[in-house]
Structure 1
C-alpha cells in the first residue's frame, strides 16, 4: 500500500483566471475512498455520488473509488483510514472494526429500526449524530454522515419456516448480528465478500444474512440460494461515510460542504432504490421462493433482541446512552401509531 499523499495548499486556487486551469490541475486534491461494497452493488450505493462529486469538483478535487477489499480487507478499513493509507471509507462501524463505543450499533443492530427512514431520524433528530461525532473525533476520524440501506433477511439453500430450521445453519452475516443469532443455533461465518457466492455453491455456507432481496439479486446471491425469509432482524442497515480527520480538515470549506451534499444525495438514492426494490422483487422476482416464520414465533426473536439491548447497554455509559435513544425512539413510534408502526 502506498503512503498517503501530501497535498498542496489551496493557494493556487486563487490564481488569476488566465492561469487557473494549469494551476488547478497541478494542485488537484486526490483522495482514495474504499467502500464495503463489491462492484455490482457499488454501482448503486456509492458510485453515483462519487461521480457527481468529481464532476462538480473538477480540477479542485477528485476521489478515486475502490471496491470491497481492493486496497485493504474490510476489517482493516478503519485502521487504514486512521493512518492515512486511504483517505475515506464507506462502511458500517461493525464491519470495519472501528475501536469506538458505537461500533456494535453499526450495520444491523437487532430490531433497532423497522423502516429505512428510522435511521436518518435517529441520527438527525434523536442525537446519534452528536454521539458518533464525539466517538470518532477521539480517534482521529471524521464521521461525515450516516444513512440507511436495506433490511436484513436470510437467503438460504433450504426453506426456513420455523426457528428450529435455523439451528446449525452456517451463515455469512455481520459481527453483531452473528453474536445475536447464535442463541438460535446460527453459526456465523466470516469470509471475504467476494467469496460468498462460491461458498454457497461449495456448501461452505448454508445461507446469507447480510442484506435484503435487492442486494441478493444485484450481486448474484439470488442465483445460488433457493429461499428468502420474509422475517427480518432489522429494518435497515446503518452505514456511514468517514474520512481521515487530517485530510478532511485540510479541505477548503466549500469542498467539505460538497462532500456532505453528495453523501446526502447517496443516502437519498438508497432510500428509494432499496424501498422500491424490496417490494418489486418480492412480487415479481423469479429466483427465490418466499418463506416466513409465524409472527407469534418470530415475536420471541424480537423479545430476545430487547434482552440483547440491555446486555449491550451494561457494557459502557456511551452504549447505555445509545440504547436509551433506541428505546425512546421506538416507544415514540409505537405511540404515534400508523404509519410509523403497525400492530
Structure 2
C-alpha cells in the first residue's frame, strides 16, 4: 500500500490521467449491403429472407444486409448491370433472368432436362465440375463475383383456362417463364411473355397471360397463382431451377474474410432450407393440394420432347468452348445416373 500511495502521489499528470481514464475502443460502423432477389415477397419469405435474417444476427453488428424483392430497386432484367455498377451490393437470381453476359448464362434458371431431381444440381456443381466452369466464366467479367449456385423447384406449366393433354394444346398459350426454358418451349407454339414478377397475378386474371412456366407446385400455391390457374401439367421440363448468389466485386472486397465465410455458410443453409421446403412441398401438393386439376401428356408423346432437348443441348454446345464443356458434363452425369438405376433413375 505504501508503494502504491507513493506512485499515485508522484506520478506525472499524463500517467495519472492514463490510469484514471482507460482507453475505450470504438466499434466501427457496420458494413451495409443492399441485396435484391429475383423473387417477390411471398416467395422471398422462404427462398432468402430466413438466410438474411440469420446472417444479420450472426454478424453481430459488424455487417447488415438490407433485402429487396423483385423489381423493388431495379427491374429484374437489369440486375446484373445494377450489380456491376454498384447500385446493388449483391443479387440472388439465375444467370439468364438477370441478363448476365457470361457465356454460360443460358444454363441458369431452367435448362431443359439437365436434371431430374433437385439434388442433381448441387452434385453437378460440387462433384462434376460446374463450380469451376462458373468461376472461370465470371472471372472473365469485371465488377462481379459469382459466389455459388443452388437448386430450387422443378419446372411445371400451370394454365388458367386450357388443360394441356398433348403438345398441340401448348400452341398459342401466352406464358410467363424463365428465358431458356421459354425459348425451348416456344418450338411447340408456346409464346413466352415477360412482365414484372409482381404483375403476373393480375396478368393471369385479366387474360394477358394464359399461364406460367416459372416454377413448381410449392411456389404456385405459395404466391397465389394456384388460386387463379385451374390446371397443372405433371410432365416437368427439368428437375430443378439453377440459381446463384452474386456480389459486386468492390463490395465483396470490403467484407473481411470471416464475414465472407459467414455469408457463404448462410448460403449453404439457405440451399438446404429450400431443398427440404420444395421437395416436401412438391409431393404434398400434388397429392393433397385441392386447387389444381392435374393433367399429363402421354409418355410416348413426351419422349419426343426429351428427344428434342438433345438437339437443343447440341445447339448450345456449339456456341462456345465453355458451353460445350457444360453439355459434356450434363451428358456424363445423365449416363452415370441411368446406369446407377434405382434410386437415382427409374
TM-score range, shorter chain: over 0.9
Distance 1:167-1:255 versus aligned 2 partners, 3 A rule: same
- CA deviations 1:261-306 (Å, max 9, x no partner) are 0000000000000000001011111111111111111111111011
Deviation at 1:85, TM superposition (A): 0.8
1:317 matched residue in structure 2: 321
Residue 126 of structure 2 aligns to a residue in which SS? Answer: helix
1:290 aligns with 2:294: yes
In the alignment, structure 1 segments of 5+ residues that lack a partner are: 1-16
Deviation at 1:251, TM superposition (A): 1.2
Residue 243 of structure 2 aligns to a residue in which SS? Answer: strand
Task: Give, in whole Å, the separation in 1 of the partners of 2:24 and 2:331.
Answer: 58
Stretch deviating more after TM superposition (215-224 or 137-146): 137-146
Structure whose alpha-carbon radius of gyration is higher? 2
Deviation at 1:250, TM superposition (A): 1.8
Query: Would you say the 8 A contact 1:226–1:289 is kept in 2?
Result: yes
2:199 matched residue in structure 1: 195
Deviation at 1:175, TM superposition (A): 1.0
Residue 233 of structure 1 aligns to a residue in which SS? Answer: coil
1:147 matched residue in structure 2: 150
Runs of 4+ in 1 over 4 A off after TM superposition: none
1:332 to 330, 333, 336: 336
1:41 to 40, 43, 67: 43
Stretch deviating more after TM superposition (174-183 or 44-53): 174-183
1:6 matched residue in structure 2: none
Deviation at 1:160, TM superposition (A): 0.7
Task: Give, in whole Å, the separation in 2 of the partners of 1:18 and 1:32.
Answer: 34
TM-score, length of structure 2 as denominator length = 0.92
Distance 1:77-1:299 versus aligned 2 partners, 3 A rule: same
Task: Give, in whole Å, the separation in 2 of the partners of 1:248 and 1:89.
Answer: 12
1:207 aligns with 2:211: yes
Aligned residue pairs, count: 323
Deviation at 1:18, TM superposition (A): 7.6
Deviation at 1:245, TM superposition (A): 1.4
Residue 40 of structure 1 aligns to a residue in which SS? Answer: helix
Query: Would you say the 8 A contact 1:145–1:264 is kept in 2?
Result: no
1:268 aligns with 2:272: yes
2:238 matched residue in structure 1: 234
Task: Give, in whole Å, the separation in 1 of the partners of 2:226 and 2:121.
Answer: 26
Task: Give, in whole Å, the separation in 2 of the partners of 1:181 and 1:19.
Answer: 64
Residue 181 of structure 1 aligns to a residue in which SS? Answer: helix
Query: Would you say the 8 A contact 1:156–1:208 is kept in 2?
Result: yes
Distance 1:18-1:93 versus aligned 2 partners, 3 A rule: farther
Stretch deviating more after TM superposition (164-173 or 135-144): 135-144
In the alignment, structure 2 segments of 5+ residues that lack a partner are: 1-21
Deviation at 1:177, TM superposition (A): 0.8
